[in-house]
């Protein structure tokens, strides 16, 4: 155990305070600075945490999300929604729960700052409580607890039985192993309500993130250099689902300098009539087959490749490369690009989630370079914000 003296502790606090002084009045206007402060606070906490306490935190990590899930499904958070203090008896009377159970679960939630303790068995909402009242965020918790949870719990045993190899096949991966042979999409097909929860949670997650054009300068990089013929295709949104990314893209009339096409499997495509009114075409397409749209200015693949191991990604990318025009077409990949060191917790957790759910992976910059080079691409630039959690990779065919 590394020794932490009082002087070392005080020096760390002084450094933290000095760095905090450099933040703007609204600390969320400087995400890089805010994240640096979070790292310093975590390091400070670790420095004064005993190994015994650290082991305890590891053992008890599931308790917080389990308690939050109980309160969510019991509608206890809804009782706190008006901001006024509520007792365990108030919550029990409003929901039919037993007061003693409410008090015991709330003990976990107040200890971990999900709920505020305002007196003996008296509680108030925190910002985290309030956000869990949003149906999309609530479904996000349900998805990770109900769907990802069993696979994550199964992951250590699965990897042990399989010789500690990276999972490569979604049909035999850790999720299918935990769910009786059903992979993620098969489960959602068999049980549509689970699919609705997943879609709701992921839609809310995406709404909270910046759109790809906030990170990537689409006007100067693709829109101003597109062919002007009426049949010229500006953007192919590969695996674009209901088309919300393309909808955001065409809101700016300056970007309507060519055709915009959304491609996905028929069941996943958005409403063709609604998209057509916005100048967006729809096309049924399986990205494991040859790309039918040839010579478009840009092929956008957003949040698709992290679902798949490298072998499958090479197939998807090769199909795209075959349709591109040398020296004109661009491949745009909207995905996480993890740093080689100091990966933020969110990025690390998402990578493990992708392994547990779909045998997928979040990739570092070096891994993206290697993957794209293996199928004939060179990366022109990686445009990143938010410590790589929001990135657009711009690539072209090798000369």
pLDDT tens for each residue of 4-62: 788 989 999 999 999 999 999 999 888 888 988 998 999 999 999 999 999 999 999 99
Check if the beta carbon of residue 382 is closer than 8 Å to that of residue 398. Answer: no
pLDDT band of residue 141 (cuts 50, 70, 90) is very high
What is the rounded distance in angstroms from the CA atom of residue 300 to the CA atom of residue 393? 10
Task: Kindly calculate the radius of gyration of the chain based on its CA atoms and give it in whole angstroms.
Answer: 24
Largest CA distance in the chain: 72
3-state secondary structure 31-89: HHHHHHHHHHHHHHHHHCCCHHHHHHHHHHHHHHHHHHHHHHHCCHHHHCCCCCCEEHH
What is the rounded distance in angstroms from the CA atom of residue 246 to the CA atom of residue 267? 18
116-132: b or e for each residue (b if 16 or more CB lie within 10 Å)? bbeeebbbbbbebbebb
Check if the beta carbon of residue 286 is closer than 8 Å to that of residue 266. Answer: no
pLDDT band of residue 1 (cuts 50, 70, 90) is very low
What is the rounded distance in angstroms from the CA atom of residue 201 to the CA atom of residue 140? 4
What is the rounded distance in angstroms from the CA atom of residue 132 to the CA atom of residue 65? 12
What is the rounded distance in angstroms from the CA atom of residue 364 to the CA atom of residue 327? 26
Mean pLDDT of 297-320: 96
Which residue, 80, 186, 206, 204, is CA-closest to 142?
Answer: 204
**What mean pLDDT is reported for the chain?**
92
What is the rounded distance in angstroms from the CA atom of residue 221 to the CA atom of residue 330? 9
pLDDT digits (tens, 9 = 90+) for 216-275: 999 889 988 888 888 999 999 999 988 888 988 998 877 678 899 999 998 888 889 999
Chain centre distance of CA 48: 31
306 is catalytic: yes
87-101, 160-174, 187-201, 286-300: the lowest-pLDDT one: 187-201
- pLDDT of amino acid 3: 65
What is the rounded distance in angstroms from the CA atom of residue 338 to the CA atom of residue 389? 7
Check if the beta carbon of residue 347 is closer than 8 Å to that of residue 354. Answer: no
Check whether 172 has a pLDDT greater than 70. yes
Cβ contacts of 109 within 8 Å, gap of 6 or more: 64, 67, 68, 71, 115, 123
- pLDDT of amino acid 273: 93
- Which of the residues 143, 147, 183, 306 is marked catalytic? 306
- Tokens standing for residue 267: 């069941």
- Tokens standing for residue 18: 């000095």
Supply the DSSP symbol for 145.
I
Sort strands 259-264 and 233-238 into parallel, antiparallel or unpaired. Answer: parallel
């Amino acid at each position: 155990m590394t020794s932490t003296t009082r002087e070392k502790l005080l020096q760390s606090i002084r450094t933290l305070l000095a760095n905090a002084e450099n933040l703007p009045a609204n600390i969320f206007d400087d995400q890089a600075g805010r994240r640096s402060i979070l790292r310093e606070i975590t390091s400070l906490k670790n420095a004064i945490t005993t190994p015994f306490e650290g082991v305890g935190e590891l053992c008890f990590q599931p308790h917080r999300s389990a308690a939050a899930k109980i309160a969510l499904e019991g509608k206890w958070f809804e009782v706190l929604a008006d901001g006024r203090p509520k007792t365990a008896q108030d919550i029990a009377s409003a929901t039919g729960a037993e007061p003693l159970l409410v008090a015991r679960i709330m003990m976990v939630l107040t200890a971990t700052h999900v709920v505020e303790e305002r007196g003996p068995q008296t509680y108030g909402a925190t910002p985290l409580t309030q956000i869990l009242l949003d149906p999309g965020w609530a479904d996000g918790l349900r998805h990770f607890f109900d769907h990802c949870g069993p696979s994550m719990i199964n992951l250590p045993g699965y990897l042990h039985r399989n010789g500690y190899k990276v999972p490569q096949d979604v049909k035999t991966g850790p999720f299918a192993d935990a769910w009786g042979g059903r992979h993620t999409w098969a489960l959602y097909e068999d049980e549509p309500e689970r699919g609705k929860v997943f879609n709701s949670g992921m839609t809310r997650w995406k709404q909270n993130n910046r759109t790809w054009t906030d990170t990537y300068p689409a006007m100067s990089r693709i829109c101003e250099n597109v062919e002007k013929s009426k049949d010229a295709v500006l953007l192919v949104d590969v695996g674009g689902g209901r088309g919300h990314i393309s909808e955001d893209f065409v809101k700016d009339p300056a970007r309507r300098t060519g055709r915009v096409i959304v491609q996905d499997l028929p069941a996943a495509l958005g409403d063709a009539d609604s998209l057509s009114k916005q100048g967006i075409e729809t096309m049924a397409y399986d990205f494991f087959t040859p790309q039918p749209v040839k010579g478009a200015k840009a092929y956008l693949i957003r949040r698709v490749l992290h679902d798949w191991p490298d072998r499958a990604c090479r197939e998807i990318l090769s199909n795209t490369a075959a349709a591109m025009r040398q020296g004109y077409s661009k491949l745009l990949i909207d995905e996480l690009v993890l740093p080689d060191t100091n990966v933020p917790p969110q990025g690390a957790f998402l990578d493990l989630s992708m392994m547990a759910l779909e045998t997928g992976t979040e990739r570092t910059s070096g891994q993206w370079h290697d993957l794209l080079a293996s199928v004939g691409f060179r990366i022109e630039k990686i445009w990143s914000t938010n410590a790589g959690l929001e990135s657009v990779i711009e690539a072209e065919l090798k000369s």
